[in-house]
Amino acid sequence: MSGGFEIRVRQQLGAFTLDVGLQGTQSGVTALFGPSGSGKTSLVNAVAGLGRPDYAFIRIGDRVLSDTDMGVFVPPHQRRVGYVFQDARLFPHMSVAQNLDYGRPKMVSLPTSLPLLAETLGIGHLMERSPKDLSGGEAQRVAIGRALMSNPAILLMDEPLASLDQARRDEILPYLDQLTQMTDTQIFYVSHSMAEVARLADTLVLLKEGKVIRQGPAADILSDPAAVPDIGVREAGAVLTVHVKSQDAGDGLSELATSAGRLLLPKFNAPDGTQLRVRILASDIILSRDKPDGLSALNILPAVVAEIIEGAGPGVAVALKSGEDRLLARITRRSARALKLAQGIKCYAVIKTVSVAPGNIGQHKG
């Protein structure tokens, strides 16, 4: 299927107005991020055909699913849309294997085999179990597998980890990493967790009060200081592309190579040479004009100030170029003035080794 996607939706819901326009490439993960009530679920429901907006033009590849002007509305069961909800919604009277098989269209040859899908999602050993015997994370992985077994043209994932505790989220995220690497299916991922978005998304769409306020490559938006108010000051942070230089660098650490230098993080399982993306929160970066000495922090990366944006409060967002990567730091206005920071100024980004949580490390997209 060619041609990517184009989605234009307008809908009046009481005092709330949803008015969005999106377009993108054929495959990859498009994350819809925004606060509750921003229109994320209403939008994906329109794509799925579960809602009929006042106006809709929805094209996935070369198929037009909705066109209000032309009177086109393809019924939900004919749209080839996979949908994963917050709760797994598995059939309780069926085994895992039967739930997966239920999603498979009869007499259709699937591009992804069940054994490969089961291996990717880590559910091969669960086939004979009943849904009631699954953990929350296991049930969601089965639900994702069932949706993919339907051979969808687009996969909608509406807050798929929201009902799980942090331990179960950390358990399932590596499987989602692998899933997004193995499938060419366009994925819409709805979330209010920036950690999930930064780890999984190729494209980021920020929604607020029913409107698209930003859309584009996730790495570009996450490193843009002007986007900090829309993302949230506590969630703001850029993503670095790195590769594993040494999985075991001693002292319980792993050594990563960035385009500007070494990055040491708590040890994790990834073979040497693996490309990863690492999210570093803006609030976890300290800036210094001179290369610091005698610090407990082990990560000191050279950088150049690319842009400074002052917020309404005491904070300043500083965009940095570090080698080929971009970083984002959030410091006080007083500190920025004391350091005499300005565009083009050379400095050093200091990052505590233990500040990067395991959930902020994922597979590189590419």
- pLDDT of 311 over the 60 cut: yes
Provide the pLDDT for residue 182. Answer: 79
Is the confidence at residue 111, as pLDDT, over 60?
A: no
The pair of structure tokens assigned to 194 is 């920036």
Q: Which of 10-19, 29-38, 102-111, 333-342 has the least mean pLDDT?
A: 102-111
The 10 Å Cβ neighbour count of residue 292 is 12
Asked if the model's pLDDT at residue 178 lies above 90, the reply is no
Q: What's the rounded Cα separation, in Å, for the pair 132 and 143?
A: 13
Mean pLDDT for the chain overall: 91
What pLDDT score was predicted for residue 365? 64
Please state whether beta strands 203-208 and 28-33 pair in parallel, antiparallel, or not at all (unpaired): parallel
Instruction: With cut-offs at 50, 70 and 90, classify the pLDDT of residue 108.
Output: low
pLDDT at position 270 is 87
Mean pLDDT computed over 8-13: 95
Q: What is the pLDDT of residues 38-52, one digit of tens each?
A: 999 999 999 999 989
Stated as kind and residue range, the H or E segment containing 218 is: helix 218-222
pLDDT of residue 1: 42
Q: What is the pLDDT of residues 234-252, one digit of tens each?
A: 999 999 999 999 999 888 9
Long-range contacts of 247-256 (CB under 8 A, 24+ apart): 247/271, 247/272, 253/298, 253/353
Separation between Cα atoms, residue 181 and residue 175, nearest integer Å: 10
| 118-153 residues labelled b (16+ CB within 10 A) or e (exposed) | bebbbbeebeebebeebebbbbbbbbbbbbbbbbbb
- Give the DSSP per-residue string, 84-134: E-SS----TTS-HHHHHHHHSPTT---SS-HHHHHHHHT-GGGTT--GGGS
Domains of the chain: 5-217 (3.40.50.300), 237-363 (2.40.50.100)
Q: Quick check: 159 pLDDT over 50?
A: yes
Cα–Cα distances in angstroms (integers) from residue 333 to residues 227, 282, 309, 315, 356, in the given order: 18, 14, 10, 6, 24
Q: What are phi and psi of 359, to 5 degrees?
A: -70, -10
Query: Which residues, including other chains, have CB under 8 Å from residue 120's CB and lie 6 or more apart?
Result: 175, 178, 179, 182
Q: How far is CA 167 from the centre of its chain?
A: 18
Q: Quick: pLDDT tens for 276-291.
A: 999 999 999 999 999 9
Bridge-partner residues for 6, per DSSP?
23, 59
Q: Which of 242, 225, 227 is nearest to 316 (CA)?
A: 225
Is pLDDT at 117 greater than 90 in this prediction? no
DSSP state letters, 228-248:
HHHH-TTT-EEEEEEEEEEEE
Give the pLDDT of residue 287: 98
> What pLDDT, on a 0 to 100 scale, did the predictor assign at position 141?
93
pLDDT of residue 103: 79
CB neighbours (10 Å) of residue 181?
A: 12
Confidence at residue 106, expressed as pLDDT on a 0 to 100 scale: 66
Least confident segment among 56-70, 103-117, 184-198, 326-340: 103-117
For residue 303, give both structure tokens.
């950088």
